[in-house]
Amino acid sequence: MAYRTSDKVRDKKDAKRTAMMQTAVQVFAEKGYHAATVRDIVQKAGVAIGTFYFYFPDKETLFVYLYEETGEFLAQTLEQAISSKTVLHQQVAAAVQAYVNIALYEPAVVHLMLVGGIGAVPSLHEKRSGFRERMAQMWQRPLDFATDEGKLPDQNTRRSAEMIAGACDEAILNLIAQPNAEESGVATVRDITLFVLRGLGYNSSAE
């Protein structure tokens, strides 16, 4: 009879793996990719070092995996926020609010995506490019629709989308660097939203 892992044992293993990965995000955010060690991660997660190597062969593999998972979470959250609204100014505000919420409550996630591993993990280059492309496309879709509807002046929506993505990232990074970030959350959402809409030449009376 073949050995089958019980559900209880499997759940315990999954819990350890999840705890280790969540801890790794924090460690990478606090120490940076180069300074962070496997021992730092397992000690903070409260797991044996053998547990780490059971799931991942090295630190770089873990980091790339975390980047993929975190990027998917961030992109899906913002895409869902945009999809929940039907007019441009609401779509922009919803996406910015979702981004700020993640920054305030999971700043390590934002740090991992925007800062961690830059220039340090060669194998991450292609995945980072893919993530940036997805974010640009996410913003371009509502811009194309609004332009076709005559709610935005004619423009290079691809370029506009790239600039929105970059501006949001910069503002979010500045937000999480503040000691009183949570107090600035509402103002940050308002300021980014107004900046984006003004930059696009959005006419609210067209809605």
Are the C-beta atoms of 106 and 123 separated by less than 8 Å? no
pLDDT at position 62 over 90: yes
Residues 10, 3: Cα–Cα separation, whole Å: 13
**Least trusted range by pLDDT, from 3-12, 38-47, 115-124:** 3-12
> Could you count the other beta carbons within 10 Å of the beta carbon of residue 78?
23
Would you state the pLDDT for residue 12? 63
pLDDT class of 203 with cuts at 50, 70, 90: confident
Q: What is the pTM of this model?
A: 0.87
Q: What is the pLDDT of residue 1?
A: 46
* Segment 76-130, tens digit of pLDDT: 999 999 999 999 999 999 999 999 999 999 999 898 888 876 777 777 888 889 9
Instruction: Please give the domain boundaries of the chain with CATH numbers for all domains.
Output: 7-56 (1.10.10.60), 59-202 (1.10.357.10)
Q: Which pLDDT value is given to residue 206?
A: 53
Question: Residue 48: is its pLDDT beyond 50?
Answer: yes
**By mean pLDDT, which of 67-71, 154-158, 191-195 is the weakest?**
67-71
Task: Pick the range with the lowest mean pLDDT from 47-56, 60-69, 111-120.
Answer: 111-120
* Burial class of residue 101 in the structure, from the number of CB atoms within 10 Å of its CB (0-12 exposed, 13-18 middle, 19+ buried): middle
In this model, does residue 146 exceed pLDDT 90? yes
Q: Which residue intervals of the chain are DSSP H helices?
A: 7-31, 38-45, 49-55, 59-83, 88-105, 107-114, 125-148, 157-176, 185-200
200 has a pLDDT exceeding 70: yes
